[in-house]
Amino acid sequence: MHSDAAPDETPGRPPDTGLRADAERNRDRILAAARRLFATEGLSVSMASVAREAGVGKATLSRRFATRDELVNAVFADRMDAYASAVTEALADPEPWRGFTGYVTAVCAMQAADRGFADVLTMTFPAAKALEKRRAESYNAFLELVARAKGTGHLRDDFTSQDLVILLMANAGVVNATGEAAPDTWRRLTAHMLRSYAAPGAPLPALPDAPARAALYRAMVRLTRPGPT
């Protein structure tokens, strides 16, 4: 029976490419399974569930990813890159207020597209060094974006970086609560918050329609009876 652990290489002996290919396939299966589960169920999914979804044993999962932080780091590396790119694009906008509102909306959209990422943006993973490094870089760039937006007089002087964290926490809650029942609810929350950040006279973002009562009711039912409604 094959093991997915890569053998030691010895001088004069070619590596066992078959076993290495098996190990790489297992890693890809684990990452794909984790992405699916994290995106639909959030980060509360157990490592055992990830192993079952991937069709591998717990020992195989542990060899590839010894901790949850390692798995989260691998799964969300590309999304953290997109998160960092969003603030870079916002800083490049010649109109800082538009860059600010566009950035906040883009990040909230990323949360809405992936429940797992919605959680990632409101949690810390000390052992996931690469992920946390990208988060720190994005945070510092966001501080510059805030300063520029305030310089236009359009962003309230009392806005702080903590306000974005509060919004992301609130948005994660809305995304997780509404699910497929009212999937665009986050847009209205985000627009309301952006309007509250605006100084008098600032251009206000459009306010999307509120979710239909029936859709919001289905979301409320979903909270009490998890699963398809």
| Domain identity same for 58 and 123 | no
pLDDT of residue 116: 84
CA 46, CA 195: separation in Å to the nearest integer?
38
51-61 tens-digit pLDDT:
999 999 989 99
Confidence of residue 228 (pLDDT cuts 50, 70, 90): very low
What CATH number is given to the structural domain containing 57?
Answer: 1.10.10.60
- How far apart, in whole angstroms, are the C-alpha atoms of residue 126 and residue 14? 38
How confident is residue 185, by pLDDT bands cut at 50, 70 and 90? Answer: very high
Q: Of 35, 59, 75, which residue constitutes the final position of a domain?
A: 75
Six-digit token string for 113: 């597209």
Q: Indicate which CATH number applies to the domain containing 140.
A: 1.10.357
Pick the last residue of a domain from 57, 75, 93: 75
**Cα torsion at 74, 165, 202, 204 (round to 10°)?**
70
C-alpha to C-alpha distance for 75 and 137, rounded to whole angstroms? 19
Q: Coil, strand or helix: which one is 198?
A: strand
Q: Which of the listed residues 75, 94, 119 is the one where a domain comes to its end?
A: 75
- Do 135 and 210 belong together in one domain? yes
Question: Cα–Cα distance between 150 and 217 in angstroms, integer?
Answer: 39
Note the pLDDT tens digit of each residue in 123-161. 888 778 888 888 889 999 999 999 999 999 999 999 999
Domain count, the chain: 2
Query: pTM of the predicted model, to two decimals?
Result: 0.77
Confidence (pLDDT) at 118: 80
1 lies in some domain: no
Q: Do 97 and 207 sit in the same domain of this protein?
A: yes
Look at 7-11, 87-91, 217-221 and tell me which has the smallest mean pLDDT.
7-11
- Of 116, 112, 107, nearest to 33 by C-alpha is 116
Contacts for 217 with CB less than 8 Å, ≥ 6 apart: none
Asked whether residue 119 falls in the same domain as residue 44, the answer is no
Answer yes or no: do 64 and 91 share one domain.
no
Backbone angles phi, psi at 225, to 5 degrees: -135, 80
Task: Read off the pLDDT of each residue in 31-52 and give the average, rounded to a whole number.
Answer: 89
Indicate whether 4 belongs to any domain: no
Tokens of 68: 């949850």
Contacts of 103 (CB under 8 A, 6+ apart): 86, 87, 89, 90, 142, 145
Q: Name the band, by pLDDT with cuts 50, 70 and 90, for residue 218.
A: very high
Residue 7: inside a domain:
no
Domain-located, residue 196: yes
What angle, rounded to 10 degrees, do the helices at 68-75 and 129-151 form? 50
153 sits in the region (left: phi over 0; alpha: psi -120 to 50; else beta) called left
Indicate whether 140 and 209 sit together in one domain. yes
Q: Are residues 102 and 60 in the same domain?
A: no
Domain extent at residue 70? 17-75
Which of the four pLDDT bands, split at 50, 70 and 90, describes residue 48? very high
